[in-house]
Amino acid sequence: MGVSVRGRAGGAGHRPVHPGYFADPFVLRLPDDTYAAYGTNPTATSTEGVFEVLLSHDLETWRSAGLALMRLDSEMGDEYWAPEVCFRDGSWWMYYSVGHGISGHHLRVARAAEPTGPFHDLGVDLTPHETFAIDPHPFQDTDGEWYLYFARDVLDAERPGTHLAVARLPAPAQLADAQAVLEPYADWQIYERERPMYGGTFDWHTLEGPAVVRRQGRYWMTFSGGAWTGPGYAVSWASSASPLGPWVAAPPTAPPLLSSGASLIGPGHNSLVVGPDGGDRIAFHAWNADHSERQMHVASIDFRSEEPALLATTPASGA
């Protein structure tokens, strides 16, 4: 994957690194320096398992390693979203949400002996007091402390909708009290105007898919906003001096890091990982041309002192 010029948004040169449906891609660098990707894929399920795992040596060519998570009883839900995985205390832990359709999602955790699974749910609802919680992102700070970032519904706000939150994660299946991280702040983050929700009608906003790294002595968060169903979906950023905040969003005049353009439709829900060359990469999904699949893309990103910048890339042939 060769770097050319700095850029933002949906510039030329972007194409998926894997054919087929693979939304909400979370890419993890494994101890042997290979990569595992976990994603939401409604076409890759069975009566026993969900969440396809892909493996790669270079972030460009991927092969399937099967399904990672063993299904729960059907009464728990029929939609499984946005898995992320970390290694802690000698085991691999998967965080994800499950619900019925788009309703009632809560965060859960599963454990496995290997990064490809099988992961077995621990029977714990991590967010019993939330009405809706999705997109968990585990993050370990340099001092060893763990945190879980996620998205949750908030009604009593200037811009009601899905907001970003964080909680300490003192043990893999124990979540401390959550606190606000970032609330919607711009019209491009509107999911739907006059949306009927929770017995009312709202101009519903959405922030989701948080991913956090520490670079340049600060903490950087990338996140998605708007409606994942259409071309208005985009990725922006915020920064903080602490994992718990306060988090400061990108200036209102700053364009999104990723947005629809000549070669991208509705890019969003990203993860961040260090590439084979030691540089940072951003993995995200975007719609294909006929809007039938959300596919995984990978690009280079540079966390500079003032703001992150996407680096325009030219995928290797055959990627």
Q: What residues does each domain of the chain span?
A: 22-271
Kindly tell me if the per-residue pLDDT of 304 is higher than 90. Answer: no
Kindly tell me if the per-residue pLDDT of 277 is higher than 90. Answer: yes
Instruction: Name residue 284's beta-bridge partners.
Output: 297
- At residue 26 the predicted structure's pLDDT band, cuts being 50, 70 and 90, is very high
**Strands 308-314, 294-303: parallel, antiparallel or unpaired by DSSP?**
antiparallel
Kindly tell me if the per-residue pLDDT of 20 is higher than 70. Answer: yes
- At residue 5 the predicted structure's pLDDT band, cuts being 50, 70 and 90, is very low
- At residue 82 the predicted structure's pLDDT band, cuts being 50, 70 and 90, is very high
- Average pLDDT of the residues in 151-168: 98
Strand order in 23-29's β-sheet? 23-29, 35-40, 49-56, 63-70
Burial of 210 (0-12, 13-18, 19+ CB in 10 A): buried
Domain 22-271 has CATH 2.115.10.20: yes
| pLDDT > 70 in the chain, percent | 93
| Residue 289 amino acid letter | A
The CA distance from 189 to 205, in Å, is 5
The CA distance from 149 to 188, in Å, is 22
Kindly tell me if the per-residue pLDDT of 4 is higher than 80. Answer: no
Provide the mean pLDDT of the chain: 92
Kindly tell me if the per-residue pLDDT of 79 is higher than 60. Answer: yes
Query: How many CB atoms within 10 Å of residue 101?
Result: 9
* SS3 of residue 76 by DSSP: helix
The predicted pLDDT at position 252 comes to 82
| Residue 58 amino acid letter | D
Look at 211 and 46; give whichever has higher pLDDT: 211
Kindly tell me if the per-residue pLDDT of 266 is higher than 80. Answer: yes
Kindly tell me if the per-residue pLDDT of 7 is higher than 50. Answer: no
